[in-house]
Amino acid sequence: MNFMLLRFLSISLLFLFCLNLQAQSSLFVPRNYLKAYTNETRSWDGKPGLKYWQNKSKYVISATIDPKSRVLSGVETVIYTNNSPDSLKLLRIKLQHDLYRKGVQRAFDVTASDVDDGVRIENIEWNGMRMDAKNFRRAQTFLDIPLTDKPLPGNSSGILKVQWSYTLPAGEDAARECVCDSSTFFVAYWYPQIAVYDDLNGWATHPYTGLQEFYNDFNDYEVTISMPKGYQVWATGEWQNAADILTPAYLDRWNKAHTSGEVSSIFTEKELSAGGVFKNKSDNIFRFKASDVPDFAFASSDHNNWDATSVVVDDKTGRRTFVSAVYNTASTDYPQVARITADAIRLMSTWLPGYPFPYPVMTVFNGNDGMEFPMMCNDASTAPGSPMTLTVHEVSHTYFPFMMGINEQDYAWMDEGWAAFFDFKLSDSLSGHTLGRVRPYAPIAGTDDDVPPMVKSRNLSTAYRNASYQRPQNAYFGLLDLLGYEKFHTCMTTYMDRWKGKHPEPFDFFQTWNEASGENLDWFWRSWFFEWGFPDLAIQGVITDEAAHAQVVIIEKKGDIPVPIHLQITFTDGTKTTIHRTAAAWKDGQQNIRVTCPEGKKVKSIEMGDHTIPDVNPADNKWGA
């Protein structure tokens, strides 16, 4: 048998094998995913393929802010490693602050005075060759560096150097970053960042518009932030030179907080104003390191309070996470935030998702938003309400999309839906009462704004929040109910073990949970994530089963999306019972379910439903007196 014939037969057998595996799934799989299975970068059982790859960068960045002018200046050296089998003919750079550049597409209006010429590229070099950025394609928030003369081969590295500056936006509507006051800054989307090149689509193509959020590679960072005297900096990563900056008394507080479970003050606004916190009377230079994280953010202030504690996140190793809350004295809810954050991280590590918190640091900073970054949150004050749900939501994003490198620009439900699920379940558990928020899916379900989540998030505007938050949160409620905690937890940890530090896509999620649960859940995935429809159950009536000497409640499935049956039944003798069936009651296509009551009991009234079970028409969920 000659070589060409052997190769043809091998490829044919592989193709037939993939088709056979695909036939085991009843879900539609897009053609670009089929390519990944053929190329063995992903596999049909939900695991990363034998030839899975992803690219990586190492950033060394130095930056400073002039508080008076709000100008951020920086210089970076990036070692970019192309682990793909492809030779790259361009290098795509994200200039996300170009959201404020004249003429750029934006999802929301911004303050007119914040709009300018965007990021100012003062120098750019590739592999030691100086280039003129004016000659490159600069579209929306991307800058493309052509490498046509000398492409970057697969399994090789190149060095990018950039010097840049821009003016921080000061408008109250500045999304996710803020000039919180004249001397308090939360800085995000701030450095030239190499975009993702992946096995499904090549270079990422969706610009940052202020709506769809993260899709980044896992990178290493060494970052130096210089600030004028009196300023403290908090950032992604671990602070490397606290001993060079804090005076002994405050350094001692900082060190003790790393091993204590009690919340303590590192310093207060009053102590900062007294001038005894910092050794230096001139500029301070702060150094941070972070490994295998998808982004880097930082914040700075000369008057915020700093509370801190730590929490054990892995009982096997005793590993702890250092937790900080940094806030303005006027934010009366923020003294609770360090305690809430530590308790939430502990519960995340041991219950939901039940996976050790992956990062050594978490800082919740009192900004103007509710927004997550690796090891950092920009959270506004919620006073007079509780800060718990917002805090839990943003901190839980550590798992999705940071530990799990979700493409949130395409499938935001893979992280926002989970954060919405966690903030409800964890807030209720931490508070001891109903505090978490069920996103209201029923009012929008089945309307033309209820778009199936498998439609890419980048294609959605008015339908974005429902597809990203409401519908998937409600789906995950049903999934936990369907599987029960133990099996749900097994599926979750299997998924995390497989895809931690990688880029899972929807079918990696669906197939992993199918395999880990030992069940084909395609019937559930299809209705909740792929199809148009709505949840609607109705009590059709009550009949008597003479042979069983019992009454039977008939439940009709009037909608398309399967949800649990939850009945609270009152009998004529004054007794009550609760009967529950998971959404699996509908998995074989039934349109009516018979629920048998206890023998000898006569039904007086029935109420169907629960606050975590959506139903578009609750009027037909009651029967009897």
| pLDDT of 611 | 93
Type of residue found at 38: T
- Top CATH class of 537-624 equals mainly beta
pLDDT, one tens digit per residue, over 264-286 is: 999 999 999 999 999 987 889 99
Are 146 and 90 contacting, i.e. CB atoms less than 8 angstroms apart?
yes
What pTM was estimated for this model as a whole? 0.94
**What average pLDDT is seen over the chain?**
94
d(CA 458, CA 468) in angstroms, rounded, equals 11
Residue keyed to tokens 């938050």: 469
Spans of all domains in the chain: 38-53+413-533, 55-211, 235-405, 537-624
In this predicted structure, the answer to whether residue 39 has a pLDDT above a threshold of 80 is yes
pLDDT, one tens digit per residue, over 511-525 is: 999 999 999 999 999
d(CA 557, CA 535) in angstroms, rounded, equals 8
Residue keyed to tokens 């518009």: 209
- Strand duo 90-94 + 193-194: pairing: antiparallel
Residue 485: band (very low, low, confident or very high) from pLDDT cuts 50, 70, 90: very high
- Strand ranges inside 105-218, DSSP E: 120-126, 129-131, 137-139, 142-146, 156-167, 178-181, 184-187, 193-194, 197-198, 202-203
In this predicted structure, the answer to whether residue 241 has a pLDDT above a threshold of 70 is yes
Residue 25: band (very low, low, confident or very high) from pLDDT cuts 50, 70, 90: low
CATH annotation of 38-53+413-533: 1.10.390.10
d(CA 429, CA 150) in angstroms, rounded, equals 57
Are 218 and 294 contacting, i.e. CB atoms less than 8 angstroms apart?
yes
pLDDT, one tens digit per residue, over 111-152 is: 999 999 999 999 999 999 999 888 899 999 999 999 988 999
Lowest-pLDDT choice from 165-169, 228-232, 540-544, 547-551:
547-551
Type of residue found at 186: F
In this predicted structure, the answer to whether residue 625 has a pLDDT above a threshold of 80 is no
DSSP 3-state percent helix, strand, coil across the chain (nearest 5):
30, 30, 40
248 burial via Cβ count (<10 Å: 0-12, 13-18, 19+): exposed
Residue 24: band (very low, low, confident or very high) from pLDDT cuts 50, 70, 90: low
**Fold agreement (55-211, 537-624):** yes
In this predicted structure, the answer to whether residue 11 has a pLDDT above a threshold of 70 is no
Please compute the mean of the pLDDT values over residues 261-266 and round it to a whole number: 98
Are 58 and 220 contacting, i.e. CB atoms less than 8 angstroms apart?
yes
CATH annotation of 55-211: 2.60.40
Structure tokens at 171: 């408008």
Sign of CA dihedral 404, 407, 411, 415: positive
In this predicted structure, the answer to whether residue 199 has a pLDDT above a threshold of 90 is yes
